[in-house]
């Protein structure tokens, strides 16, 4: 049976972000915009990285795919290592089904660059917001891995 070590990127990012002097490689300006007509969702985002403002839009096969594509499209010109990144698993768990549609959702995403595998988790009452935060964390971790050697 195959066994792969899956790095806990959420834990490592939480620690890094708590340290004095940590500077993230990019930041989202404002928030994402998502238009989902049920057929072809479109996401837009504004990002600041390396003193550059980037505004991008992209469509996808679903809202999470559109969010992943727009982040990758916006970040890849400054961080070409992201061309190698693939999302290999996505899951969402309802944390308290008794709260119905207002319950928190735990989103889990597994990424790979073909050599390493890492996982992120994000929580929100909004599945798209949790997914977006997870995608941000997964791409940020990929950039940090590349920059740390």
Helix, strand, or coil (residue 35)? strand
Q: Sheet holding 117-124: strands in order across?
A: 6-8, 117-124, 105-112, 86-94
* Residue 3 burial (C-beta neighbours within 10 Å; 0-12, 13-18, 19+): exposed
Task: Give the phi and the psi of residue 129 in degrees, each rounded to 5.
Answer: -65, -40
Query: What is the per-residue pLDDT across 80-137, written as a single tens digit (0 to 9) for each?
Result: 999 999 999 999 988 766 666 667 899 999 999 999 999 999 999 889 999 999 999 9
pTM (2 decimals)? 0.92
Minimum mean pLDDT range among 67-76, 99-108, 139-148: 99-108
Alpha-carbon distance of 36 to 44, in angstroms, equals: 12
Query: Which residue ranges form the domains of the chain, and what is each CATH number?
Result: 6-147 (3.30.160.270)
Alpha-carbon distance of 98 to 102, in angstroms, equals: 9
Determine the pLDDT at residue 149. 58
What does each C-alpha distance from 64 to 75, 94, 109, 130 come to in angstroms? Answer: 17, 17, 11, 10
């Amino acid at each position: 049976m195959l066994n792969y070590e899956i790095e806990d990127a959420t834990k490592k990012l939480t620690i890094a972000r708590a340290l004095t002097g940590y500077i993230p490689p990019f930041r989202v300006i404002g928030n994402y915009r998502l238009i989902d007509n049920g057929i072809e969702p479109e996401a837009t985002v504004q990002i600041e990285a390396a003193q550059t403002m980037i505004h991008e839009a992209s469509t996808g096969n679903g809202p999470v795919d559109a969010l992943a594509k727009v982040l990758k499209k916006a970040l890849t010109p400054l961080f070409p290592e992201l061309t190698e990144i693939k999302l290999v698993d996505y899951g969402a768990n309802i944390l308290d089904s008794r709260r119905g549609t207002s319950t928190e959702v735990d989103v889990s995403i597994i990424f790979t660059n073909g050599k390493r595998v890492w996982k992120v988790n994000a929580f929100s009452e909004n599945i798209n917001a949790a997914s977006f935060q997870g995608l941000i964390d997964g791409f940020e971790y990929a950039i940090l891995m590349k920059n740390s050697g």
